C-alpha cells in the first residue's frame, strides 16, 4: 500500500482511506475501501431489501469518511431515504478533503455530495439531495436514541474492530440496535468473529455468514424476525 502523507493511504482498489492513530486501524479495508463498502453495505444490505420497498430508513454506525453515505446516495434510484449516521469523533476537514472517492465514482456532483455529508450541521435533519434526508448524530451509540416512533429498515454497522472497540460489539449493544429495528430489518457488518455472531444471536437477530469483500473470507448479516400474533397463528 502506498502512503499519501500522514494518515492517508491508497488501498488495493485505488480508493483512499484514513488511518486512526487512536485506534491503530484504517477506516476501511486496505484491500479496497470502495470495494468493501459496496459489498458489505450496498450489495449485502441495501440491495437485499425488498425491491418494492420505496421508503427506507437507515442507521449507520459510524459516519467516518462518509463513504457509506455517499455510496448510498449514489444508489438511491427511485427510493426515498431517511439516513441517520452516528459519529463520536468526526474526521477533520483537512483529512476528508484528501479522499479520492469523487474522482473514482461515476457521476456528477460527487465532490459536492461528500462535502455536504461532512459539512452539514450535526443533530438536525437536512436534505442531502432530492428524497434523501440526512441526520448526523454527534455522539456515542450508547447515548443515541431515535426520534419518537422512529425505527430502521437497515443498519450499517461499521465501528472499528472488536479488538479495538470491544464495548461496541456486546450483546447489550446489539439488543439496543434490535429494539431500533422494524421486523424484517437487516444489520450488515464486515465483522465475522464468532463472539460477535453469538452476541447478535443472543440479542434476537437471525444471523447468517456471507462471503466477505476482497481480502476477507466472511462477513455477517443479521435480520430481525417477523413475529406472528397470537390471533393470526391460531386463526
Model confidence pLDDT, tens digit, residues 14-57 = 999 999 999 999 999 999 999 999 999 999 999 999 999 999 99
Mean pLDDT of 209-226: 96
Burial of 47 (0-12, 13-18, 19+ CB in 10 A): exposed
How much is the pLDDT for 7?
Answer: 77
pLDDT surpassing 70 at residue 193:
yes
Mean pLDDT of 156-178: 97
Q: Scanning the structure block, which residue is given the C-alpha cell 430508513?
A: 57
How much is the pLDDT for 227?
Answer: 76
CA dihedral 146, 147, 148, 150 (to 10 degrees): -70
pLDDT surpassing 50 at residue 219:
yes
How much is the pLDDT for 70?
Answer: 97
Does the pTM surpass 0.75? The reply is yes
Domains of the chain: 32-94+106-234 (3.40.50.150)
Average pLDDT in the chain: 92
Model confidence pLDDT, tens digit, residues 77-104 = 889 999 999 999 999 998 999 999 989 9
Q: What percent of the chain has pLDDT over 70?
A: 94
How much is the pLDDT for 91?
Answer: 94
How much is the pLDDT for 8?
Answer: 83
Mean pLDDT of 1-5: 38
Per residue, the 3-state secondary structure of the chain, as one string, reads: CEECCCCEEECCCCCEEEEECCCCEECCCCCCHHHHHHHHHHHCCHHHCCCCCCEEEEEEECCCCCHHHHHHHHCCCCCEEEEEEEECCCCCHHHHCCCCHHHHCCCCCHHHHHHHHHHCCCCCEEEEECCEEEEEEECCHHHCCCCCCCCEEEEEECCCCCCCCHHHCCHHHHHHHHHHEEEEEEEEECCCCHHHHHHHHHCCCEEEEEECCCCCCEEEEEECCCCCCHHHHHC
pLDDT surpassing 50 at residue 231:
no
How much is the pLDDT for 149?
Answer: 85
Model confidence pLDDT, tens digit, residues 90-141 = 999 989 999 999 899 977 679 999 999 999 999 999 999 999 999 999 999 9
> Which three cell numbers mark 55?
421508503
How much is the pLDDT for 109?
Answer: 79
How much is the pLDDT for 234?
Answer: 35
Amino acid at each position: 500500500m502506498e502512503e499519501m502523507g500522514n494518515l492517508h493511504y491508497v488501498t488495493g482498489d485505488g480508493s483512499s482511506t484514513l488511518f486512526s492513530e487512536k485506534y491503530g486501524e484504517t477506516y476501511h479495508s486496505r484491500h479496497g475501501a470502495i470495494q468493501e463498502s459496496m459489498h458489505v453495505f450496498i450489495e449485502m444490505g441495501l440491495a437485499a431489501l425488498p425491491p418494492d420497498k420505496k421508503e427506507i430508513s437507515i442507521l449507520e454506525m459510524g459516519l467516518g469518511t462518509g463513504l457509506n453515505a455517499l455510496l448510498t446516495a449514489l444508489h438511491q434510484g427511485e427510493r426515498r431515504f431517511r439516513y441517520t449516521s452516528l459519529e463520536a469523533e468526526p474526521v477533520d476537514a483537512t483529512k476528508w478533503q484528501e479522499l479520492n472517492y469523487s474522482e473514482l465514482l461515476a457521476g456528477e456532483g460527487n465532490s459536492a455530495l461528500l462535502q455536504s455529508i461532512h459539512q452539514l450541521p450535526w443533530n438536525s435533519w437536512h436534505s442531502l439531495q432530492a428524497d434523501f434526508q440526512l441526520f448526523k448524530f454527534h455522539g456515542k451509540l450508547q447515548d443515541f436514541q431515535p426520534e419518537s416512533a422512529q425505527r430502521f429498515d437497515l443498519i450499517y454497522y461499521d465501528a472499528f474492530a472488536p479488538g479495538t472497540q470491544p464495548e461496541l460489539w456486546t450483546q447489550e449493544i446489539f439488543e439496543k440496535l434490535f429494539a431500533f429495528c422494524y421486523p424484517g430489518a437487516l444489520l450488515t457488518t464486515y465483522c465475522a468473529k464468532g463472539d460477535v455472531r453469538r452476541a447478535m444471536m443472543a440479542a434476537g437477530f437471525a444471523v447468517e455468514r456471507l462471503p466477505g469483500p476482497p481480502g476477507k473470507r466472511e462477513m455477517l448479516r443479521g435480520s430481525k424476525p417477523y413475529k406472528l400474533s397470537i390471533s393470526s397463528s391460531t386463526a
